[in-house]
Amino acid sequence: MLRYTVSRLISAVPTLALVLVLAFSLVHAAPGGPFDTERALPPETEARLNEAYGLDQPFWVQFGNYVGGLLRGDFGPSYRYPQSTVGELIADAFPVSATLGLLALVVGAGLGIAIGIVAALRQNSVLDHVLMSVSMTGISVPGFVIAPLAVLLFAVTLRWLPASGLQTPAHYVLPVFALALPMLAYVARLMRASLVETLKSQFIRTARSQGLSSRTLVFRYAMKPALIPVVSYLGPAIAAVLTGSVVIEQIFNIPGIGRLFIQGALNRDYTLVMGLVVLYSSLLIVMNLIVDLLYGVLDPRVRY
């Protein structure tokens, strides 16, 4: 398992390198630059700025400098927020997004799995159909529709919850709900399908023939295999939810990674965008590795 982990981490290096090259080229290929504003700067000022940040260098030299900095743990300076580095910006925003994301994960995965189990055990009942249609809605209606509607209902009309910001625990309810809903819906459907499938397998029939209780069948025998598809979905989903949602953070005015991303991209803040790309892709790689290692925990036949 150690050997497997090490080799997977090593093989992540070329993946990351490729992501870096692609992202760097794309960011630089986008028209405009970090110092373009509505009122054009005097050319000599812009030239001095470009020189100061090394933007006058050839593309590959810039890329080399950036990667060199990364290797030293330096994400570089932000072009639009000269008072802070990209590292500091991420350090401020990431905990905000990650907290929201973790809460959404607990709610989404936890409730999703529970709903999936209930639906699977009551397969084709009215309850099953209701739960599954609600889930379908959760998947198909996008966050930028759900979130404003929730704000309208709970914050504006009913005045139960605050509409934006993150000052008190009550402020967390609506954004966490909005973030968790699609995950919850997706997990519930996955869980239902895989549990229904698992309960049809031969070894469950054997267990039934031995007179074991249905609680044992579901929780001791069928749960592990049924969780496997859920785990493979959750890996990348966790990486996504921890790094914040562009839409949700915008709507609830939350100073997280998602908002940073939007601003960075719009402002052509090259280093900021690159830093966030590195953060997201590393998280994704790590989460996928954890998922693969979890397969080994869930299924004893899988060995690394």
- Give the footprint of another protein on this chain (CB under 8 A): 3, 201-203, 205-214, 216, 220-221, 224-225, 298-301, 303
Exposed/middle/buried for residue 107 (C-beta within 10 Å: 0-12, 13-18, 19+): middle
CB closer to another protein out of 34 and 225:
225
Q: What are phi and psi of 242, to 5 degrees?
A: -70, -30
Cβ proximity to another protein, 133 vs 216, nearer residue: 216
**CB of residue 126 to another protein, shortest distance in Å:** 17
Residue 215: CB minimum distance to another protein, A: 10
| Smaller CB separation from another protein, 4 or 154 | 4
The distance of closest approach from Cβ of residue 229 to another protein in the complex, given in angstroms and rounded to an integer, is 14
Residue with Cβ nearer another protein (15 or 201): 201
Residue 112 to residue 103: CA distance in whole angstroms? 14
Instruction: Indicate the residue among 145 and 302 with the shorter CB distance to another protein.
Output: 302
161 within 8 A of 173, measured Cβ to Cβ: yes
Task: Report in angstroms how near the CB of residue 129 gets to another protein at its nearest.
Answer: 17
Nearest-approach distance from CB 160 to another protein, in angstroms: 44
**CB contact burial 215-231 (16+ within 10 A = b; e otherwise):** eebbeebbbebbbbbbb
Other beta carbons within 10 angstroms of residue 143's beta carbon come to 19
Task: Kindly give the residue spans of alpha helices, DSSP state H, lying in 59-213.
Answer: 59-71, 86-121, 126-140, 143-150, 169-198, 202-209
Least Å distance, CB 11 to another protein, is 17
> Which one, 2 or 29, has the nearer CB to another protein?
2
Q: What one-letter code names the amino acid at 175?
A: P
